[in-house]
Structure 1
Amino acid sequence: MGNVFSVSISTKSIAGCCCDCTAARANYLCKLEENRVTLRIDLQKLRELKNDVNRKVDVAERQQMKRLDQVQGWISRVEAMETEVGQLIGDRAETIEEKRLCGSCYPKHCISSYTLGKKVVRKLQHVATLMNEGRNFEVVADIAPPAPMEEIPSGSTVGLESTFDKVWRSLEEEHVGMIGLYGLGGVGKTTLLTQINNHFLKTSHSFDVVIWVVVSKTPYLEQVQNEIWEKVGFCDDKWKSKSRHEKAKDIWKALSKKRFVMLLDDMWEQMDLLEVGIPPPDQQNKSKLIFTTRSQDLCGQMGAHKKIEVKSLAWKDSWDLFQKYVGEDTLNSDPEISELAEMVAKECCGLPLAIITIGRAMASKVTPQDWKHAIRVLQTSASNFPGMGHQVYPLLKYSYDSLPSKIVQSCFLYCSLFPEDFFILKESLIYKWICEGFLDEFDDTDVAKNQGFNIISTLIHACLLEQPLDTNSVKLHDVIRDMALWITGEMGEMKGKFLVQTRADLAQAPEFVKWTTAERISLMHNQIEKLTGSPTCPNLSTLLLDLNRDLRMINNGFFQFMPNLRVLSLSNTKIVELPSDISNLVSLQYLDLSETKIKKLPIEMKNLVKLKTLNLCSSKLSSIPRGLISSLLMLQAVSMYRCGPYDQVVEGSIESYDNESLVEELESLKYLTDLGITIASASAFERFLISRKLMSFTRGISLKMFQGSSSLSLSSFENMKHLYGLSIEDFDSLREIKFDWAPRKGKETMEYSNLNPKVKCFHGLHEVNISRCQMLKNLTWLIFAPNLQYLTIGECDEMEEVIGKGAKDGGNLSPFTKLVQLELNGLPQLKNVYWNPLPFLYLDKIEVVGCPKLKKLPLNSYSANQGRVVIVGKQEWWNELEWENEATLNTFLPSFQAI
């Protein structure tokens, strides 16, 4: 009858199986199907929670934050759970066979279902635990630590390839912990160190962090410590306020836990690594330290395990570089020049800085005679080089010697009075030149200033001055500055005429014996607290004491023996009053008291009858003796821009700059051509507006504390053709700024659709500050300031927009094209800066604090040089910002700095 199967189940087996299924364990079998459904549902909820947490993490990481380890661990456990559950029960429904087996009492099926059921219950418990953990994540990320290494902009490494390879191979040697790179100034040490830094980003290695620090000629150890801590800690104000010893301990503790590479650029003297907090690299910690210096001896003093000389370029590289800067047109202008040019290039001895400097100097020389003369000068100067600089300074000095006049040379040497890497304001520099007598061949100040700007251009083109992004200032390359100081310190008749000790950590002035022969003294950026005694300085013409931020007192008698002092600068000090013996400075022509604590000018200043420039900008001045200003008959430039306070009344004085007498005294000055003024009342302002003379000379005007003024007409500024800075502060009732140059059909205010080219007084406006104008709603008039660079708006409670939408009809205006910095602070109602994205070609900083309703910035992915701008603000504000699109968000995410 075919195959017949006979199945026999013993009663004993069935009884054994049933006995094992106790009430507690029966659920593994009886509720298996229900538990599997519950597990799928709970797993889906866990996935959803994981996705929510991931989105929070993604938002935080877009803001340069770092996810917490516990969050990452939880996400990893959830992902593992998803895999495990999927393998256990799958995502499909049970088959009929599985259901049949689950209800079967066959022993092997019963045991299998029991095991499955038990695992399902345990997974349910684990999923529940993960759900509870995930719900507790109020914070998913923290402030990200500094990047372990950052790329540094670098120029071409012409001819440095073999040296780079040598340094990199040395880094791989276990016994080499410290490497000293030495060579002449301008030979390319910094460029080489930059390439080493950047190479760490391109190759695999075992270091935790790469730290770059510029040490400079006079090492400021606390600044070095701050720069290191920015890489390994959180360099806030609290940390900066610690003592040097406390900082060293913190740095030591942090670096001892890391395998680091320390790159120290431009070392001039031995640095105690332990004093800074740097663990000396050795075979135990496997860290590395590379420094650059111009002294081979310093390599030994620092204990470098390997000393590598950065040599001058080989001839082929030198010649290629020289041709690049001279230019083909010049080299081909005469058959003889190419051969002569090779001789000049060889005189540069392969020094890149010398090649570039001399090459540029010769770029316009198109006759053989010019080149023969250059060769002769270079060859005769080289023999005079003293010591280590005998191959460098004469080459650089040739550019100095080639300057068109003694006046230009004097102006250049004067720049060496400022600290290393200091940004020198052009106008301030030119006024010092004028008052020193370099440019006094002109009676007309404007002509002299124009000559000064021309000299600055000449020095920039000769590569003796550098032009930073801020076109209002210049700076000296440190090697060029050293050359200038070498000229003033070592060269014949100039020897001993300059005494320059800037950023030298001086707590007191140098010995007065050094002052005796000096013509120019600069003690800028030190920690001098007081000046006592009576130095005898018969030849002294310039004394710069700026940025001595602890300087509070100058004793009476200090100026007693300085009969020829022409330039005195005390800006950014804490001087409270001037000594009465300032009256002895009968030759003084330039006096800078800006950003000092001086509240009252002494009446003895009436003796300064030759004074041409007086700077009181941003000082605390509240009192000027009546008749003082008018007695200074030679004044050409006066700045009282944004100075005050205004709450003091002094008998017999011009108080608070709102007295009309001040305006009258200024108006009486015959030679005045440059004015910055603070006016603190509507009546004084009306008196000021009567004077076309003063308005035509005004460069900066600060209007402050006008009581009851509800409107301000810009027609008031129509004659201020040279206005550079404008400040409007503490206008408690100001509601509108009116435009009434070109009334239209009887209307009082100018419509934005009729933007009149007559509004030219704002074309030179570079700086605007609007503060504490509580009722003002917008600053739409700024569309008339196309060259605005710095805009600060603060504590204006009703300010709703910067440029109002009413200006839309004004044509193709694009405001803020040249803006460099924008600061918005304490504007609770501000919703809009501008209604469309703007290019912001020069913007380098936006700071927004206390503007909760400002949800969108006028940016797109092409703005601000495609994101090369710093955006400063609170993290909460940044989190809620809206963006033009995803590309804009991605462009500016790296720009944010939380405060």
Structure 2
Amino acid sequence: MGSVCSVSISTEDIAGRCCDCTAARANYICKLQENRVTLRTELQKLRELRNDVKRKVDVAERQQMKRLDQVQGWLSRVEAMETEVTQLIGDDAENIEEKRFCGSCYPKHCFSSYTLGKKVVRKLQQVAALMSDGRFEVVADVVPPAAVEEIPSGTTVGLESTFDRVWRCLEEEHVGIIGLYGLGGVGKTTLLTQINNHFLETSHNFDVVIWVLVSKTPNLDEVQNAIWEKVGFCDDKWKSKSRHLKAKDIWKALSEKRFVMLLDDLWEQMDLLDVGIPLPDRQNKSKLIFTTRSLDLCGEMGAQKKIEVKSLAWKDSWDLFQKYVGEDTLNSDPEIPELAEIVARECCGLPLVIITIGRAMASKVTPQDWKHAIRVLQTSASKFPGMGDPVYPRLKYSYDSLPTKVVQSCFLYCSLFPEDVSIDKEDLIWKWICEGFLDESDDMVGAINQGFNIISTLIHACLLEEPLDNGYVKLHDVIRDMALWITGEMGEMKGKFLVQTRAGLTQAPEFVKWTTAERISLMDNQIEKLTGSPTCPNLSTLLLDSNRDLQMISNGFFQFMPNLRVLSLNDTKIVELPSDISNSVSLQYLDLSSTNIKKLPVEIKNLVKLKRLELSNTSELSSIPRGLISSLSMLQIINLFSCGFHEPDGNESLVEELESLKYLIDLRITIVSASVFERFLSSRKLRSCTHEICLRIFKGSISLNVSSLENIKHLNSFAMKHCDTLIKFDWAETGKETVEYCNLNPRVKCFDSLETVTIFKCRMLKNLTWLIFAPNLKYLQITDCEQMEEVIGKGVEDGGNLSPFTNLAIVGLFFLPQLKSVYWNPLPFLYLRDISVFNCPKLKKLPLNSNSARERKVTIEGEEEWWNELEWEDEATLNTFLPNFQAT
């Protein structure tokens, strides 16, 4: 027999363990009902936590963030747990409980209760674990940029073969850098756009495709920022790094990727290492494609492939030309189609030329017009530097076709402004007037209208562009180059323009270049001071705007500028003007706005021809010598809006001096006392020519009469700043201090010209209900008004069918702790673009519904907490505006 294994266990141990086991099992059964109730309660708590987490996730995802994987996993587990618990404590569990408590506790029922009780306890433990795991501090993260981002592009003509050639080069291992060169306007940017977007349509092995616009005067910091936005996190902290440290970060990120770098509009050699771009080679298999107008630059950049973007073939040229001339014109005379073919061939297949001349000829419906065009195009043999023969001489045809020398001069004047800058129409026209281009005689309004007519002529000739905001115009960079070529190379114009904008200048060009110049523009540089006495007998315009380091102009600088007519120092840090400004006796336009000017020299009295004086946003201006303004008897525009100047008498003497100006037609003024405001309102002359009013630092309680403001017919902009005491608006007919708006006719357009309203630190102001009478209001900003409760009060609801703010484009509401309402009903905002709200905790509803924006994209900016507590008209309204919310 085999050996016997003996195990000794005491009877007490067995009994104890059995009792424990029995007690535990009994608890499963006895506490089943209690545990089931507890499980149901805990499940509800888990659901509530799940809902809180999902709400945070939803808010984050509205801001284009991506939920964390651990959050998604937890939500999935909660969903599964919810299903399991529901099944566990459903009807079957209820039946078992009923039988047990009715005395039908047979062994099989006891066993079922025990099994169920054990599962319930286990689920309680699992729910508790899920509750613990669901306390997320962060639920989502910033979504990294897409590997390829689509770039908007119009229809293209005739680039297919060049595109195919470039794409084949991308597949060649030995080709790392590709240079696309060609004439301005030939379609290089369009081709590069096609290449970028094709990466979205086809499979490839690249990790990221990066598009960067370089432009003629490259800003390497902006180039680095554009790259880092694709491969890193480009916040303000990173932007403040030195270029060297940025380059190191970019180099490290790109070295770990297979990238395609697309650099558009390269004008000079760029050191890739200085930016941080690894040199594409066989090892990293990355690619760099750039566009330029210079074949030489392709060599300097080390391009293994230099591909010319050529002009269009004849068929494509003719198709494009016909499109812009139009069938009606081509069919207007039997001779025209044949003549049109000759004109189209003279365009040499350059898309920009085809479009420009095609548009110019679209209204030419006689054979004589077309024959004249052919003669001009064929006999224009002028050359232009660096761009090849076919471009500027043919583009110049649009310039030559302008109706008068005056219109041509006005066009060339536009080239004084930096590339891609938006030019204010009215400011441009006044410069033309002061230059003497426009015939003002005794009719200044007629001269201004003439200026607008010239702008329209230039837009229709495709020599100017009109952005979305029709108060501005832009000059296409190729057209601007053509204008500078005309002024720099063409006969009598040669040497008369000196234009070095955005050239990185820290000091002025040598004065020898100033001698023959009639117009000089050094805008947007870093010039720190102007010293010396340049001899400029013919200089009529000097533009120094946006030299933000310019603090000093030495005495004697203006000594030899007797014919200077336009001087602009806008957005510089000039503290004072030299006294020899008095030598510029021909000066008609002087712009000192947004400078640090502290006082005006008394010598300005000698500028008796001055027509326009700009002093807006000069917060440091402390004094204007008495009698100075009245001595400038030819002044027609004076801008003192948001100006720091104020005198102990509340500048009442200034009002008297302004009244003495015989030719004043445009006044923008800051008023700092109630008495001066009353004095101002009593002047019919000043009311009739005022366009902007800023009320600032009023002392004492006053009552502003709305009907008096109504008499300022041309009021375009109204501001109130630092008016801490009680400001009331009343209506003359009521005889009361508060407005009885319900007695008024809301259809009366009291402030028909008012477009901009700015309210800043008016602590006693409770509403701006009078704005119902400003139907053309476009910009509204209210900041730091402690008692502001509503923008338009509900007291006007009986005044008829109101629809204020129809033309409102931008509204800003900041630091308004009591603000509860903008308007009590949803409004149709036909032009609304942006709503910004910050620190307005009681504003729970905006006057919006799903039809308010009429399919326009309206950006709403504000704090997340405020946004989450907003009340909406309905679900459709929330869905309409939800995608455009931006957290501040």
> TM-score, structure 1 length as denominator?
0.88
Shift of 1:440: 3.8
Name the residue aligned to 1:877.
Answer: 866
Shift of 1:735: 4.1
**Contact 2:728 / 2:737 at 8 angstroms: preserved in 1?**
no
Q: Secondary structure at the match of 1:453?
A: helix
Name the residue aligned to 1:699.
Answer: 691
Name the residue aligned to 2:508.
Answer: 509
**Contact 2:39 / 2:123 at 8 angstroms: preserved in 1?**
no
Q: Give the Cα–Cα distance (whole angstroms) in 1 for the partners of residues 873 and 232 of structure 2.
A: 34
Q: Kindly tell me: are residues 633 and 749 of structure 1, through their superposed partners in 2, closer, same or farther at Cα, counting changes over 3 Å? A: same
Q: Secondary structure at the match of 1:727?
A: strand
Q: CA offsets, 1:233-270, max 9 Å, x none?
A: 44444433332223333333444444444332222111
Does 1:784 pair with 2:784? no
Name the residue aligned to 2:675.
Answer: 683
Q: Secondary structure at the match of 1:568?
A: strand
Q: Give the Cα–Cα distance (whole angstroms) in 1 for the partners of residues 763 and 704 of structure 2.
A: 14
Name the residue aligned to 2:612.
Answer: 613
Shift of 1:480: 0.8
Name the residue aligned to 2:705.
Answer: 713
Q: Secondary structure at the match of 1:866?
A: coil
Name the residue aligned to 2:68.
Answer: 68
Q: Kindly tell me: are residues 867 and 896 of structure 1, through their superposed partners in 2, closer, same or farther at Cα, counting changes over 3 Å? A: farther
Shift of 1:815: 2.3
Q: Give the Cα–Cα distance (whole angstroms) in 1 for the partners of residues 200 and 467 of structure 2.
A: 27
Name the residue aligned to 2:819.
Answer: 830
**Contact 2:746 / 2:772 at 8 angstroms: preserved in 1?**
no
Does 1:733 pair with 2:725? yes
**Contact 1:28 / 1:121 at 8 angstroms: preserved in 2?**
no
**Contact 1:354 / 1:395 at 8 angstroms: preserved in 2?**
yes
Q: Secondary structure at the match of 2:718?
A: strand
Q: Kindly tell me: are residues 862 and 216 of structure 1, through their superposed partners in 2, closer, same or farther at Cα, counting changes over 3 Å? A: farther
Amino acid at match of 1:709: S
Q: CA offsets, 1:136-185, max 9 Å, x none?
A: 21432345555555443322222334434444444455554433322221
Name the residue aligned to 2:785.
Answer: 796
Q: CA offsets, 1:769-792, max 9 Å, x none?
A: 111111112112222222222211
Identity %: 74
Q: Kindly tell me: are residues 855 and 119 of structure 1, through their superposed partners in 2, closer, same or farther at Cα, counting changes over 3 Å? A: closer
Name the residue aligned to 2:593.
Answer: 594
Deviates more, 1:295-304 or 1:628-637: 295-304
**Contact 1:382 / 1:391 at 8 angstroms: preserved in 2?**
no
Q: Give the Cα–Cα distance (whole angstroms) in 2 for the partners of residues 308 and 863 of structure 1.
A: 51
Does 1:324 pair with 2:313? no
Does 1:641 pair with 2:630? no
Name the residue aligned to 1:628.
Answer: 628
Q: Kindly tell me: are residues 301 and 682 of structure 1, through their superposed partners in 2, closer, same or farther at Cα, counting changes over 3 Å? A: same
Name the residue aligned to 2:556.
Answer: 557
Does 1:393 pair with 2:392? yes
Does 1:887 pair with 2:886? no
Q: Secondary structure at the match of 1:391?
A: coil
Does 1:155 pair with 2:154? yes
RMSD, matched Cα: 3.5
Q: Secondary structure at the match of 1:390?
A: coil
Residue of structure 2 aligned with 1:673, choices 661, 665, 671: 665
Q: Kindly tell me: are residues 286 and 850 of structure 1, through their superposed partners in 2, closer, same or farther at Cα, counting changes over 3 Å? A: farther
Amino acid at match of 1:688: F
Deviates more, 1:548-557 or 1:167-176: 167-176
Shift of 1:216: 1.2
Q: CA offsets, 1:36-86, max 9 Å, x none?
A: 987986778656644542333123212333323442343456567789x79
Amino acid at match of 2:744: N
Name the residue aligned to 1:649.
Answer: none
Q: Give the Cα–Cα distance (whole angstroms) in 2 for the partners of residues 140 and 204 of structure 1.
A: 32
Amino acid at match of 2:725: S
Amino acid at match of 1:770: I
Aligned residues: 861
Shift of 1:570: 0.4
Give 1:454-473 correspondences, 5 Å limit: 454-473=453-472
Q: Kindly tell me: are residues 298 and 776 of structure 1, through their superposed partners in 2, closer, same or farther at Cα, counting changes over 3 Å? A: same
Deviates more, 1:216-225 or 1:842-851: 842-851
Q: Give the Cα–Cα distance (whole angstroms) in 2 for the partners of residues 512 and 62 of structure 1.
A: 58
Amino acid at match of 2:362: A
Does 1:849 pair with 2:848? no
Amino acid at match of 1:537: C
Q: Kindly tell me: are residues 696 and 47 of structure 1, through their superposed partners in 2, closer, same or farther at Cα, counting changes over 3 Å? A: closer
Q: Kindly tell me: are residues 812 and 311 of structure 1, through their superposed partners in 2, closer, same or farther at Cα, counting changes over 3 Å? A: farther
Deviates more, 1:147-156 or 1:633-642: 147-156
Give 1:74-113 correspondences, 5 Å limit: 74-75=74-75
Name the residue aligned to 1:270.
Answer: 269
Q: Kindly tell me: are residues 314 and 138 of structure 1, through their superposed partners in 2, closer, same or farther at Cα, counting changes over 3 Å? A: same
Q: Secondary structure at the match of 1:181?
A: strand
**Contact 1:856 / 1:882 at 8 angstroms: preserved in 2?**
yes
Does 1:839 pair with 2:828? yes
Shift of 1:345: 1.4
Gaps of 5+ in 1: 1-11, 13-17, 647-654
Gaps of 5+ in 2: 1-6, 8-13, 101-105
Does 1:859 pair with 2:848? yes
Q: Give the Cα–Cα distance (whole angstroms) in 1 for the partners of residues 835 and 312 of structure 2.
A: 43
Amino acid at match of 1:751: Y
Q: Give the Cα–Cα distance (whole angstroms) in 2 for the partners of residues 52 and 747 of structure 1.
A: 50
Q: Secondary structure at the match of 1:551?
A: coil
Does 1:361 pair with 2:353? no
Amino acid at match of 1:515: W
Q: Kindly tell me: are residues 893 and 147 of structure 1, through their superposed partners in 2, closer, same or farther at Cα, counting changes over 3 Å? A: farther
Deviates more, 1:586-595 or 1:224-233: 224-233
Give 1:476-625 correspondences, 5 Å limit: 476-620=475-619, 621-625=621-625
Q: Kindly tell me: are residues 346 and 812 of structure 1, through their superposed partners in 2, closer, same or farther at Cα, counting changes over 3 Å? A: farther
Q: Give the Cα–Cα distance (whole angstroms) in 1 for the partners of residues 826 and 746 of structure 2.
A: 24
Shift of 1:419: 0.6
Shift of 1:214: 1.9
**Contact 1:657 / 1:678 at 8 angstroms: preserved in 2?**
no
Give 1:655-666 correspondences, 5 Å limit: 655=647, 658-666=650-658
Name the residue aligned to 2:803.
Answer: 814
Shift of 1:807: 3.0
**Contact 2:730 / 2:737 at 8 angstroms: preserved in 1?**
no
Name the residue aligned to 2:3.
Answer: none
Q: Kindly tell me: are residues 745 and 727 of structure 1, through their superposed partners in 2, closer, same or farther at Cα, counting changes over 3 Å? A: closer
Shift of 1:625: 0.4
**Contact 1:613 / 1:635 at 8 angstroms: preserved in 2?**
yes
Deviates more, 1:690-699 or 1:702-711: 702-711
Name the residue aligned to 1:15.
Answer: none
Name the residue aligned to 1:9.
Answer: none
Q: Kindly tell me: are residues 22 and 195 of structure 1, through their superposed partners in 2, closer, same or farther at Cα, counting changes over 3 Å? A: farther
Q: Secondary structure at the match of 2:380?
A: helix
Q: Give the Cα–Cα distance (whole angstroms) in 2 for the partners of residues 24 and 772 of structure 1.
A: 76
**Contact 1:735 / 1:777 at 8 angstroms: preserved in 2?**
no
> TM-score, structure 2 length as denominator?
0.89
Q: Kindly tell me: are residues 87 and 512 of structure 1, through their superposed partners in 2, closer, same or farther at Cα, counting changes over 3 Å? A: same
Amino acid at match of 2:181: Y
Shift of 1:533: 1.7
Amino acid at match of 2:456: S
Name the residue aligned to 1:428.
Answer: 427
Q: Secondary structure at the match of 1:793?
A: strand
Q: Kindly tell me: are residues 527 and 632 of structure 1, through their superposed partners in 2, closer, same or farther at Cα, counting changes over 3 Å? A: same
Shift of 1:118: 11
Shift of 1:745: 11
Deviates more, 1:162-171 or 1:820-829: 162-171
